[in-house]
Amino acid sequence: MEQELKLVRDTLSEVQQYEHAVHVLTFDQETICPPAAVEEQGEVAAFLQNQAYKLVKTDSFIQAAETLYAHRDELSEFDRALAERLHREYKKTKNITPEMSHAFSLVYNRAFVNWSKARKESDFALFAGSLSEVIETLKKDVSLREDAASSVYDELLGDYERGLTSAQLDEYFGACKERLIPLLQRIMKSKKKIRTDFLSRRAEDDAQRKMSQYLLEVLHYDFSRGAFTTTEHPFTDGLGRNDVRVTTHYYPDMFYASMYSIIHECGHALFDQLQPQENYDSFIEDEKTMAMHESVSRFYENRIGRSRSFIGLIYDRARELFPEVLGDVSADELYEAMNLVEPTLIRTEADEFTYTFHIIIRYELEKMMINGSVSMEELPRLWNEKYQEYLGITPANDREGILQDVHWTFGMGYFPTYALGNMYNAMYIKKLAQEMDLDKEVAAGRFDVINGWMADNVFRYADRRSPKEWILGITGRELAPDDFLDYLEEKYSALYEL
């Protein structure tokens, strides 16, 4: 077994070199790459990714990896997790040659380039052809997988959240609609008036940059192993054990947008920075699912970042950096404004309450696209109709409508993980509350204590357990939306005096 382990580890070490370079290129592509060079940059990244792919397609690597899987019960916990990961990947890629994989990458790269152009021109027609190509590529990919789910969309969901099915999501989102739609209507009719006049006051980029830096420091982001910059669509990229980068975007008339995007991305980064060293040693550092990741980012963004205790903690520094914005605003007014419920068109700017509807809309459209029950020409109209149905608003153009997200340039099945993340963290916050007074720790800025609990309970086993095993291990319960819905009902009924 030692011989097989050595071959696998040596190969994966070489794979990591290529993948690290790919991450550097794609990070550059989404931050400072000149527009005219974006497609070429993507082609170089696709080439390097394909070189890495070739390494795991050799007969010697496959034989060694499958031997480890056959004898997985004889391995350590970390090596067993690696063997199981490699076996899952092998079944997915067994029939996909390096040439096919490279061709798939080029499809997604072209889609990103065309989406960027379409978004700039606010014209979905410029992206429609690429979106069709992405869908066909996804279907082809799934058709070549061994033991794929009978439903193409369920298989794609499983790429981001192992074991998840559309039947489960229909149940979870059905519960969300049943409880949240009537509550949203009550909130909209509430006589409670939240002050909002200061939300559109101008804040300079430099002040927002300083605020982002401060927030990262408060949350104990490790700057010796990370950095931050700006991009069009904020994201986090884990380039390696000691290089986890976050991004944000500054809007002159929305000072708070960069605040909450940097808190959100910091949550992702903390998940990577605080995971066990053994994950990197055993090549399983990316096995955590996207819903696990989103549970953490949204825990920091919403459950902490929008709490009264956190607003109180950062209030003085915020007023200092944004005197023209917050000079006449109290801490209570800032808290209420940061929790304002107001249907908006842009998902990334949505309030905590209405955010779930943005996800449901995308989920319903994704199913239709993969199942072939909607044409490209119909999509913008359907998107607009669903926004009117769920949120009572309609996009004025494609840029603020169907072209706002980059996700469909590389796949489908990702969006539901944002909502699942809210459900997961609502469950483990109940466990956390049994062991500490979270509001008290936040108010005191003791994020070493909070992050330590997260590392011990949420981060530690994420790469070694399935989502079902992971949440069961933390809370003793299986995933359900009830805790999240209870939290929303309690918080917003109090805020809006219902």
List the catalytic residues.
265
Under 8 Å between Cβ of 107 and 137? yes
Residues 90, 106: Cα–Cα separation, whole Å: 22
| 3-class secondary-structure state, position 99 | helix
Going across the sheet that includes 226-230, the strands are: 226-230, 243-248, 236-240
Closest CA to 127 of 135, 113, 115: 115
Residue in this structure with the two tokens 């580890």, named with its chain if needed? 9
Under 8 Å between Cβ of 45 and 57? no
DSSP string computed for 127-183: HHHHHHHHHHHHHHHHHTSTT--SSHHHHHHHHHSTT--HHHHHHHHHHHHHHHHHH
As to burial, measured by CB atoms within 10 angstroms (0-12 exposed, 13-18 middle, 19+ buried), residue 35 is exposed
Residues 149, 305: Cα–Cα separation, whole Å: 38
Residues 237, 246: Cα–Cα separation, whole Å: 7
| 3-class secondary-structure state, position 325 | helix
Phi and psi at residue 194, in whole multiples of 5°? -100, 130
CA dihedral 261, 262, 268, 270 (to 10 degrees): -160
All residues at 6 or more sequence positions from 40 whose CB lies less than 8 Å from its CB, including other chains: none
Distance of CA 30 to the CA centre of its chain: 16
